[in-house]
């Protein structure tokens, strides 16, 4: 049986699964503070995924109040050094490179033989789509064993946030190869920052059993009470939320995918980062290729 057929068979049941119901069950199970349950769950998870607890601020798994508290654990201050070069873009997460490259008009490479649409990804907002058209993208996959806090790739000021409801398909390689428009179909949280090189989008994409996403400025966003597109405008309402490179901005309560978007001609990805390459939060993903202070929008 070929790999393609195996991938198809793995993903086929996901079309009929009650994604949000299952994710709600996981949400409550991972927040239980009943000591025998949460200790057993954490201990089994550490063994199964070979989680390195030596780099966690709290190395004793029994001290976490719930599985989710463990899953979103803080690391030691020196565990993830942030690349010091001001010209470098830092990885926002621990994970694996799924894809990096250039956006072809509004087409983004998903996997061999499949693309996904920039405009659909950005909640059909033409002004955002026009800005990132022909720009740069990086898709980073977080496995269950990875550190699950998301940090700033460069300094930025928050402009807006958009919650987009959707399905919760798995986002692993087999799903990317078989599910059309995967990242446009899944629930996601879009954060738009103003930076020294213009707009930057950081998109948290939900997945199966990812029952919750949150940010440092707004707290828990999902599960949402109403699964409808929601907008928050920060600069327009006088809210000054600025974060420096390396600062935490959000987290996944269970693992998934982060997509980075930059405008055309703003950055250049490191050629050392190929699909399936592991990456650590704070490591260099690429370099700025325009002068500092050049923040003029491409649509002007």
For 67-120, how does the pLDDT look when each residue is reduced to its tens digit (9 = 90+)? 999 999 999 999 999 999 999 999 999 999 999 999 999 999 998 779 999 999
| 94 catalytic per annotation | yes
Number of domains in the chain: 2
Query: CA 183 from chain center: how many Å?
Result: 11
pLDDT of residue 292: 47
- Residue 18 in any domain: the answer is yes
Please report where in the chains the tokens 């948290």 appear, as a residue: 204
Summarize pLDDT for 159-181 with one digit per residue, the tens: 999 999 998 888 878 788 888 99
| 194 catalytic per annotation | no
Q: Which has the closest alpha carbon to 63: 88, 83, 38, 45? A: 38
> Average pLDDT of 119-134?
94
Range scoring the smallest mean pLDDT among 7-11, 151-155, 271-275: 7-11
| 66 catalytic per annotation | no
pLDDT of residue 152: 98
Q: Which of 7, 94, 146, 194 is catalytic?
A: 94
Q: Are 25 and 162 in the same domain?
A: no
Q: Are 234 and 108 in the same domain?
A: yes
| Domain end residue (candidates: 44, 71, 98) | 71
Question: What is the span of the domain harbouring residue 39?
Answer: 3-71
CA angle, corner 277, sides to 271 and 279, nearest 5? 95
pLDDT of residue 209: 73
Q: Are 280 and 189 in the same domain?
A: yes
pLDDT of residue 239: 86
Q: Which has the closest alpha carbon to 244: 190, 193, 188? A: 193
Range scoring the smallest mean pLDDT among 18-22, 35-39, 69-73, 106-110: 18-22
Q: Which of 151, 194, 204, 212 is catalytic?
A: 151
- Residue 282 in any domain: the answer is yes
Q: Are 148 and 181 in the same domain?
A: yes
Mean confidence (pLDDT) of the chain: 89
Summarize pLDDT for 215-266 with one digit per residue, the tens: 999 998 887 777 789 999 997 777 899 999 999 999 987 768 999 999 999 9
């Amino acid at each position: 049986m070929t790999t393609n057929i195996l991938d198809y068979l793995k993903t086929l049941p996901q079309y009929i699964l009650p994604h949000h119901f299952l994710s709600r069950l996981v949400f409550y199970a991972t927040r239980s503070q009943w000591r025998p349950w949460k200790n057993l769950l954490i201990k089994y998870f550490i063994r199964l995924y070979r989680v390195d607890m030596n780099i966690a601020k709290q190395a004793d798994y029994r001290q976490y109040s719930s599985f989710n508290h463990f899953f979103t654990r803080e690391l030691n201050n020196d565990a993830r050094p942030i690349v010091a070069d001001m010209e470098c873009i830092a990885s926002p997460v621990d994970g694996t490179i799924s894809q990096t490259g250039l956006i072809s008009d509004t087409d983004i490479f998903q996997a061999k033989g499949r693309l996904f649409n920039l405009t659909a990804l950005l909640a059909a907002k033409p002004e955002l789509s026009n800005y990132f058209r022909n720009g740069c993208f990086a898709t980073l996959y977080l496995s269950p064993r990875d550190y699950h806090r998301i940090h700033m790739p460069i300094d930025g000021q928050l402009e807006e946030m958009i919650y987009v409801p959707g399905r919760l398909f798995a986002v692993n390689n087999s799903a990317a190869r078989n599910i059309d428009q995967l990242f446009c179909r899944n629930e996601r949280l879009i954060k738009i920052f103003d930076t020294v090189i213009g707009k930057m989008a950081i998109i948290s994409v939900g997945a199966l059993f990812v029952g919750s996403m949150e940010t440092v400025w707004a707290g828990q966003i999902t599960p949402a009470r109403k699964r409808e597109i929601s907008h928050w405008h920060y600069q327009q309402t006088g809210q000054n939320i600025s974060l420096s490179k390396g600062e935490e901005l959000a987290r996944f309560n269970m693992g998934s995918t982060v997509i980075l978007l930059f405008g055309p001609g703003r950055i250049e990805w490191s050629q050392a980062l190929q699909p399936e390459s592991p990456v650590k939060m704070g490591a260099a993903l690429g370099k700025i290729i325009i002068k500092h202070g050049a923040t003029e929008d491409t649509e002007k």
